[in-house]
């Protein structure tokens, strides 16, 4: 085949691949539609994510009334009931059944302001760096020894806040907070929190107040309030053994 024939054949093939005449504009409608769909979809995802973040930031809101369980564990022993400081009102009130009632009345008490430090203040607990002091004045600091127990080796305690989600059980693993305890937020109705001074690696049992979560309104009056702070005492619970009185036998009366 001559060179001229080859050149003509190549030219015909090239011309056959041209689908538009010179000067004709390419149709950009379809690519633009695809780009628009992608952009709009990304925008919806972003707005949904921001909406979830915004909702999480404002709970508990002024419309919420929550009940969370709480306890103070010192080296495996739960302490007695705490009392409210002052008039027993505010966003955090501890009830007779041991639950925390959380009911913000304004924006300054809701959302990110619903912190553990505000609750601690309402019951007279003083939070420090790696330490806390109960209303009676007893302090616990990370690294100090647990109260001695006869027959058990001495152990040092660690201050931590243990946080369980709602519906937790004894097999549930809590979130363990050792720094910035006061900044921990109340974020759900039915949460469980334990302020603990326990040996490293030890997780407290769920507090006895968990039982009241099934019916939080029962016996839900505010616990006895204390005027001012630091004037109440916390006494470890004691168990009094039951006594058994021997039965007496009365002899039958004559003629009976």
Task: Pick the range with the lowest mean pLDDT from 31-45, 119-133, 155-169.
Answer: 31-45
**Cβ-contact 79, 134 below 8 angstroms:** yes
Q: What is the model's pLDDT at position 190?
A: 97
Q: What is the model's pLDDT at position 232?
A: 40
Q: What is the model's pLDDT at position 151?
A: 84
What mean pLDDT is predicted for residues 51-67?
Answer: 74
**Could you tell me if residue 121 is inside a domain?**
yes
Q: What is the tally of structural domains in the chain? A: 1
R_g of the chain, CA atoms, integer Å: 34
Two tokens, residue 86: 């002052």
pLDDT of residue 168 exceeding 90: yes
Q: What is the pLDDT of residues 121-156, one digit of tens each?
A: 999 999 999 999 999 999 999 999 998 888 888 899
**For the chain, what percent of residues have pLDDT higher than 90?**
56
Two tokens, residue 207: 């507090």
pLDDT of residue 94 exceeding 80: yes
**Could you tell me if residue 38 is inside a domain?**
no
pLDDT of residue 17 exceeding 70: no
Q: What is the model's pLDDT at position 211?
A: 95
**Could you tell me if residue 203 is inside a domain?**
yes
Q: What is the model's pLDDT at position 13?
A: 52
**Could you tell me if residue 165 is inside a domain?**
yes
Length of the chain: 256
Q: Which residues contact 194 (CB under 8 A, 6 or more apart)?
A: 70, 71, 72, 73, 161, 162, 174, 204, 206, 207
| Nearest CA among 140, 148, 160 for reference residue 200 | 160
Q: Other C-beta atoms within 10 Å of 88: how many?
A: 17
Q: What is the model's pLDDT at position 102?
A: 96
Task: Pick the range with the lowest mean pLDDT from 26-35, 134-143, 174-183, 211-220.
Answer: 26-35
pLDDT band at 87; cut points 50, 70, 90: confident
| pTM greater than the 0.75 cutoff | no
CA 71 to chain centre: 14
**Could you tell me if residue 29 is inside a domain?**
no
> CB under 8 Å, gap of 24 or more: what pairs does 167-171 form?
168/192, 168/206, 169/206, 170/205, 170/206
How far apart CA 180 and CA 164 sit, in angstroms, is 17
- Cα torsion 172, 197, 132, 124: sign: positive
| b/e sequence 188-222, b meaning 16+ C-beta within 10 Å | ebbbbbbbbbbeeeebbebbebbebbeebeeeeee
- Domain limits at 89? 66-214
Q: What is the model's pLDDT at position 23?
A: 54
**Could you tell me if residue 130 is inside a domain?**
yes
CA 237 to chain centre: 27
pLDDT of residue 55 exceeding 70: no
**Cβ-contact 101, 67 below 8 angstroms:** yes
**Could you tell me if residue 43 is inside a domain?**
no
Which of residues 41 and 112 earns the better pLDDT score?
112
Task: Pick the range with the lowest mean pLDDT from 13-17, 53-57, 94-98, 101-105.
Answer: 53-57
Q: What is the model's pLDDT at position 129?
A: 92
**Could you tell me if residue 140 is inside a domain?**
yes
Task: Pick the range with the lowest mean pLDDT from 59-68, 149-158, 244-253.
Answer: 244-253
């Amino acid at each position: 085949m001559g060179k001229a024939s080859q050149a003509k054949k190549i030219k015909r093939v090239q011309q056959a691949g041209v689908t538009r005449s010179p000067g004709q504009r390419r149709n950009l409608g379809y690519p633009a539609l695809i780009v628009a769909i992608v952009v709009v979809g990304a925008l919806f995802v972003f707005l949904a994510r921001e909406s979830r973040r915004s909702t999480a930031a404002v709970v508990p809101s002024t419309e919420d009334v929550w009940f969370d369980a709480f306890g103070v564990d010192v080296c495996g022993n739960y302490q007695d009931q705490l009392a409210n400081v002052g008039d027993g009102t505010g966003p955090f009130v501890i009830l007779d059944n041991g639950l925390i009632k959380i009911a913000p009345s304004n924006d300054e008490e809701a959302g990110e302001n619903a912190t553990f430090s505000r609750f601690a203040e309402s019951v007279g607990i003083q939070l420090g760096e790696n330490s806390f002091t109960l209303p009676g004045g007893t302090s616990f600091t990370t690294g100090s020894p647990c109260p001695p127990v006869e027959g058990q080796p001495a152990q040092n305690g660690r201050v931590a806040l243990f946080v369980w989600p709602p519906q937790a059980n004894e097999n549930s693993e809590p979130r363990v907070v050792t720094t910035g305890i006061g900044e921990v937020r109340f974020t759900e109705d039915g949460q469980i929190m334990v302020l603990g001074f326990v040996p490293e690696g030890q997780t407290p049992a769920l507090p006895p107040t968990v039982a009241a979560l099934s019916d939080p309104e029962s016996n839900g009056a505010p616990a006895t309030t204390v005027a001012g702070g630091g004037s109440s005492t916390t006494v470890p619970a004691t168990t009094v053994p039951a006594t058994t009185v021997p039965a007496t036998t009365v002899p039958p009366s004559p003629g009976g």
